[in-house]
A and B are shown apart, each in its own frame.
Chain A
Amino acid sequence: MARISAAQWAALDKARDNQFRARLISFIDTQFGRPEGDANLRSPEDIADAALQFADTVGAMTEAQIARIAILLVAVNRRQSLPDEVASVRAALTQAGRTPDERIEAAATVLGISEVVA
């Protein structure tokens, strides 16, 4: 069997990371559209990168968890959230003793987001 070099592993990791980022950007774009004419609103690329960065802090590992974090970030941004609300969301996302899912759910509650049941 051919041995995969460290450089090849790194390239594969990079490709996979890029692929997920691209899917995340596309999802945000589809769900929320691309903001125009308001410099305060962040682009899907910006939101995706922020979500990927923030995922480590939350302890989020799965695709779904990171996507939900992205939605939270969009919601905060679109609502032009007040500092108190942003602080509450951040506190929920980093609360000790909670699983990543519990943190994300708590942050969603702060923002009044719940899953739409058909």
Chain B
Amino acid sequence: MSAAAASANAAWGAVKKNFAETPAKGPCIPCAAAKKNPVGAKWRKDAGDVFPGHQSYNDCGLEASRQVVEQVKGKLDMSERQFMDNAIATCTVDDDGGANALDRQCVMQQYGVRSTVEKADITNVDAALRDGKGVIVTADSKLLWGMQGISSQQGVPHAVLLTNGIYDDTGKMTGVWVNDTGIGQRYPMSTDDLATALKSGTGKMNVTDNPIWPSD
């Protein structure tokens, strides 16, 4: 047996004498409490304050991106049209404002907000929102708005900003709040409905690298 193997075997035997079979880390009481519902009053207020209302162009993804940017950087001194024109000029955004996930990533990056494009599913949404990150998802507009009781003739891929999760007493995410510039409304949506909505979208979502919402 080599010296290294002998040392490892001896150390293996010495574990019992030196370490207990008890948890090395106890529950972090304030952390556990915070994880049950990380969304505080300031977060909820900011989620409403950043919402611009109804979009004027075909720029749902840009307006969602702008909310993220303004939440991080503060209110931008430019109109919706100016923001869109800048995005068209600097990223591969369509002339009418249409933008995919990579375009949105590019636009946010222009204002110094780094993000990644992830698979759009409940697990990833939950993790990102719990961390206070900015999350933009897409869904079929007819399906999404139909859930809000608004009927439309034809669905199109539509981007919205998810501002925060809704949690039950055990800390499970039971829904999310949606900032939807397509219909100019903010609304809650159950996790089940969100799962359905995500499946109708492009399958991709934008998640900021850093938290954008207040921790209180």
A residues near B (Cβ < 8 Å) are 6, 9-10, 13, 16-17, 20, 23, 27-28, 31-32, 55, 61-68, 71, 74-75, 78-79, 108, 111-117
B15-A75 in contact (CB<8A): no
Which residues of the other chain, A, contact B30 by a CB distance below 8 angstroms? 6, 9-10
Q: Does B45 contact A (CB under 8 A)?
A: no
Q: Does B76 contact A (CB under 8 A)?
A: no
For the complex, count residues of B whose C-beta is within 8 A of A. 25
**B127, chain A: closest CB distance, angstroms:** 14
B residues near A (Cβ < 8 Å) are 4-5, 7-16, 18-26, 28-31
Bound complex: CA A63 to CA B5 (Å) = 22
Closest partner residue, chain B, to A55 (CB atom): B24
Bound complex: CA A117 to CA B29 (Å) = 40
A17-B25 in contact (CB<8A): yes
Which residues of the other chain, B, contact A28 by a CB distance below 8 angstroms? 11
Bound complex: CA A61 to CA B27 (Å) = 11
Which residues of the other chain, B, contact A67 by a CB distance below 8 angstroms? 15, 18-19
Closest partner residue, chain A, to B20 (CB atom): A63
**B208, chain A: closest CB distance, angstroms:** 24
**A25, chain B: closest CB distance, angstroms:** 12
Bound complex: CA A61 to CA B19 (Å) = 12
Closest partner residue, chain A, to B28 (CB atom): A13
Closest partner residue, chain A, to B24 (CB atom): A63
Give 28 CB contacts A-B under 8 Å: A9-B29, A9-B30, A10-B28, A10-B31, A13-B25, A13-B28, A13-B31, A16-B25, A20-B24, A23-B18, A23-B19, A27-B11, A27-B19, A31-B14, A61-B24, A62-B21, A62-B24, A63-B19, A63-B20, A63-B24, A64-B16, A64-B19, A64-B20, A78-B8, A113-B9, A113-B12, A115-B9, A116-B10
A114-B12 in contact (CB<8A): yes
